Amino acid sequence: MSVGHSISRRAALIGSGALFAWTQLPRLARAEGRDPRMLVIVLRGALDGLGAVAPVGDPDWIGLRGERALVLDGKTPALPLDSFFALNPAMPNLHRLYRAQQATLVHATATPYRERSHFDGQDVLESGLVKPGGADSGWLNRALLALETEGRVNPVGSRAFGVGAVTPLIVRGKAPVMSWVPQKLLPASDDTAARLLDLYQHTDPKLAVALEGRMKLASLGTSAVEDTMADANPLVVPPGTRLRAYFAEAAGTAARYLAKAEGPRVGALGFVGWDTHINEGAAAGQLYNLLSALDGAIAAVETNMGEAWRETVVTVITEFGRTARINGTLGTDHGTGTVALLAGGALKGGRVIADWPGLKTEQLYEGRDLKPTTDLRAVLKGLLRDHLRVEERELAGSIFPDSAGVAPIAGLVG
Amino acid sequence: MSSSAKADAALALHRFGMGPRPGSIEKIVSDPRGALLAELDNPPPYPAAAATLPSSAKAFRTVADANARRQAKATLATRAEAEAKKQQMAAAGTAMTEGPATAMSETASKAAAEAVPDPGRPIYLEEAKLRTEAALAADIGFTERLVWFWSNHFCISADKIRSMSGAYEREAIRPHVLGSFADLLLAAENHPAMLFYLDNLGSMGANSIAGINRSRGLNENLARETLELHTLGVRAGYTQDDVIAFANVLTGWTLVPPGDNPEHGGEFSFNPRLHEPGAQKILGKSYEQEGVEQGRAVLRDLAAHPATATHLATRLATHFIADTPPPALVERMAKTFLDSSGDLKEVAKTMVSAPESWSEPPGKLKRPGEWVVSIVRAAGITQVDAKRYTGGQALLGEPLWRPPSPKGFPDDEGSWIDGMGRRLDIANNFAERIAGRADPEDIVENVLCGCVSAELRQAIGRAESRQQALALLFMSTEFQRR
């Protein structure tokens, strides 16, 4: 097999999936002079919510995590949010946004999934269904369809497009998905692509749809992204600075597309590596490095969005949390309640939303995990309704079926 | 040869093998099913060159040794730099205000990295080359496909443990794909690469000697993924308590530290000091065994469990036959699994003998790895540049031995179909490189024996260049679906 260029780390790693949904803005929003953007970042592997946003005001916190508990007067002090919560010290950008009312943190949240399989958990997180298994579309894709059927989006321009070879479930569905991978590989000519499309149209309609998505994207004519890491060895897991560069590059690229006047308005990308079973290192180490990279990614989105940042919401979600206590190998095992991080100029931020369940053993879910008290779908529904202006009745219908009892959280944006 | 016989032969090669090579359709056209069964009874040997590759333990020690030497070099250079600086300052009459340099100097680290390169990468590339060339050399390649399938089922990741990734497949997977599933399961779960990948090395029972002395304890990862992914399947009825009990059973399954033992470092070892003492109850059954036998007993029972039979039959049929395989086929394969005490050769035979495996239309989208190997075989190429080849696989989203999670690479069309644009670029690039020596019409007539649509023939005939014709051919539904 032959590839004429060395493979960039980013291209290799981004296979884990950065995706953008490509749609014109809702007409209603346009009429109001709005042009909202939404970027969803999925943290695969289950983020330790207590390691990201620590309940430093809870009297049981230090007893729970001992010397591994993030505290305000630690060696690397946690960043105070309010009288009760503090942010992991790896996230100064998010802290700055929080103080500027451009970040909202939702704690003790979870999807309706209550088991501990990553793959089922991600299935529920991304499908928007109550149970895992059998889903062939994601809630973000269906949200686009809901906009379309109401005639609020130009159907011709309604496309989802993907970065990476494996499409995450969250954007799979009837709204077509385009795929794009940062590359220096010489692309096939438009003529070859057109001929192949013609062949597919006669022999394989599904492949025709997939190829068509790629061709429409190419015609958008974005300039190639500078491939700064072309010579990097793609096989080494990037620690520290390289991890930061990779996260920032992936999210920053997404933002460049979202910022364009004719670009996509909704997107999703995934970051792997959050399954911290061993030596979690919340204050210094693995989780610290990951959160630092995530913080840089949020900053890159802010920078590359430019003016559009004030109409942007970045939503960071994960399949479930981790055990409240540290496990036998200084890490944490699969748990339940966790945090969702929201950042963006469109938010009415500067607060932690939490119905705090407490950390005493009898207050923990099954005696081991942070108990979820806020349904994550309430957050997502609130954003879809008030930010993207998705029809309210679709929220508990096609987008998050069987969620009539979960009211959207009002006032997240404003 | 009748055209339907040729179509069956082509289907056998695409669906169960590595794709047609020049001459391979003629070779099996008289009895494609028989040819597949014959391969199972007489599988092609893995290339003899494998004997020259290091074992997983040796590879692990080699990398650990290089890391230690690199570290020593950097430390020496850092000390020398600090000493030079001290003398310089003393000569200038300035007092040392900083303490002794403890952090590694950046230039010293860089120089050390250059002086002692990572041996893990060349080992990985050698393993990749051998594996790819075995797939290219096989007449049909059914056994290799089974190796690929089981390797993905019991995946580890080279991102976490690169030195062992190729050797793991040779040691734990390859010897057992036509043997007993219980043997395969034990070989995979007690392999150091798996114990490392799923975080079991330091897991210790709370009441074990080490657990008491060091106040550390359990890690659930290996136990959970063994139940969820490798045997019973998710939602098969086990509980969180079962996961914890099984994790306790597996405490002590670790490896010999590479630095301590130049002969056996990196090999599996059972460390009784880490092991949680006493009986454990899993799925309602109490396991009273001592030491490593306890875990072996649990694995034996899991291997024989009806849920495991259904889970594995479903995964096999989903991989080989269709994203939604015919339930009757899955049932038959699961029954064979149970009737034969998990004989994987018998299960494979049941699959290729089943009428559904031949009546199901060729609608399954090939994964990138299968697709690439099939276009390279069609071009008659038998040797590869491992660096290029693995780079191409990474670009297509299926980097060798580097799955995104313990679940392995997905098998369904929805996961891969949006990668068509990238496949086209790769096909185009490959076509460019081979256009001087490969003839598209020749591949259609002599490799595919004319089993292509009229539309594809026409597209090839009208192509503006041989390169374009080859790219269209490699991207055709005939090469993408099986």
* A166 vs A204, residue with greater confidence: A204
**Average pLDDT in the B397-405 region?**
92
Q: How confident is the model at residue B29 (pLDDT cuts 50, 70, 90)?
A: very high
Q: What is the pLDDT of residues A56-82, one digit of tens each?
A: 999 999 999 998 999 999 888 999 999
Q: Verify whether the Cβ–Cβ distance B206 to A328 is below 8 Å.
A: yes
Q: Looking at beta carbons, which residues of chain B come within 8 Å of A121?
A: none
Q: What is the DSSP letter of A164?
A: S
Q: Looking at beta carbons, which residues of chain A come within 8 Å of B384?
A: 1
Our CA-based measurement puts residue A336 at a distance from the nearest CA of chain B, in whole angstroms, of 13
* Segment among B256-260, B300-304, B344-348 with least mean pLDDT: B256-260
pLDDT at A218: 57
Q: Verify whether the Cβ–Cβ distance A15 to B397 is below 8 Å.
A: yes
Last residue of some domain: B64, B96, B118? B118
- Nearest chain B residue (CA) to A185: B425
Q: What is the pLDDT of residues B110-147, one digit of tens each?
A: 888 888 888 999 999 999 999 999 999 999 999 999 99
Closest CB from A4, A181, A272 relative to B422 = A181
Q: Are B194 and B168 in contact (CB under 8 A)?
A: yes
In the predicted structure, residue B12 carries a pLDDT above the cut 80: yes
Q: What is the pLDDT of residues A293-329, one digit of tens each?
A: 999 999 999 999 999 999 999 999 999 999 999 998 8
Q: Which domain holds residue B82?
A: 56-118
Number of domains in chain B: 3
Our CA-based measurement puts residue B107 at a distance from the nearest CA of chain A, in whole angstroms, of 17
Tell me the CA distances in angstroms from A265 to A31, A153, A246, B268, one per residue in order.
16, 11, 22, 52
**Average pLDDT in the B67-85 region?**
88
Q: What is the CA radius of gyration of chain A?
A: 21
Our CA-based measurement puts residue B287 at a distance from the nearest CA of chain A, in whole angstroms, of 22
Q: What is the pLDDT of residues B313-370, one digit of tens each?
A: 999 999 999 999 999 999 999 999 999 999 999 999 999 999 999 999 999 999 999 9
**Average pLDDT in the A194-217 region?**
86
Residues B114 and B257 in one domain: no
Q: Verify whether the Cβ–Cβ distance B405 to A234 is below 8 Å.
A: no
In the predicted structure, residue A179 carries a pLDDT above the cut 60: no
Residues B187 and B315 in one domain: yes
Q: How confident is the model at residue B302 (pLDDT cuts 50, 70, 90)?
A: very high
Q: How confident is the model at residue B94 (pLDDT cuts 50, 70, 90)?
A: low
Q: How confident is the model at residue A2 (pLDDT cuts 50, 70, 90)?
A: very low
- How confident is the prediction for chain B on average, in pLDDT? 93
Q: Report yes or no on B95 lying in a domain.
A: yes
Residues B107 and B218 in one domain: no
In the predicted structure, residue A19 carries a pLDDT above the cut 60: no
Q: Verify whether the Cβ–Cβ distance A187 to B414 is below 8 Å.
A: no
B 36-55 residues with CB below 8 A of A?
none
Q: Looking at beta carbons, which residues of chain B come within 8 Å of A45?
A: 405
Please tell me if residue B264 touches chain A, with a CB cutoff of 8 Å: no
Q: Report yes or no on B155 lying in a domain.
A: no
- How confident is the prediction for chain A on average, in pLDDT? 80
Per DSSP, the residues of B444-466 read: IIIISTT-S-HHHHHHHHH-SSH
B 446-475 residues with CB below 8 A of A?
453, 455-456, 459, 462-464, 468, 471-472, 475
Residues B275 and B386 in one domain: no
Q: Report yes or no on B128 lying in a domain.
A: no
- Nearest chain A residue (CA) to B387: A6
A191 Cα distance to chain centroid: 36
Alpha carbons B381 and B366: distance in angstroms, whole number = 20
Q: Report yes or no on B102 lying in a domain.
A: yes
Half-sphere exposure of B57 (CA within 13 A, CB side): 17
Residues B303 and B429 in one domain: no
Q: How confident is the model at residue B425 (pLDDT cuts 50, 70, 90)?
A: confident
In B163-262, DSSP assigns E strands to 253-255
Q: Verify whether the Cβ–Cβ distance A234 to B399 is below 8 Å.
A: yes
Which range, A22-26, A257-261, A409-413, has the best average confidence (pLDDT)? A409-413
What is the CATH architecture of A3-186+238-399?
3-Layer(aba) Sandwich (3.40)
Residues B458 and B313 in one domain: no
Numbers of helices and strands, H then E, in chain B: 26, 4
Alpha carbons B14 and B142: distance in angstroms, whole number = 10
pLDDT at B422: 83
In the predicted structure, residue A226 carries a pLDDT above the cut 60: no
pLDDT at A228: 29
Q: Please count the residues of chain B.
A: 482
Residues B348 and B376 in one domain: no
Q: What is the pLDDT of residues A76-134, one digit of tens each?
A: 899 999 999 999 999 999 999 999 999 999 999 999 999 998 888 999 999 999 999 87
Which residues are CB-neighbours of B213 under 8 A, at least 6 positions away? none
pLDDT at A235: 30
Q: How many CB atoms lie within 10 A of CB B234?
A: 19
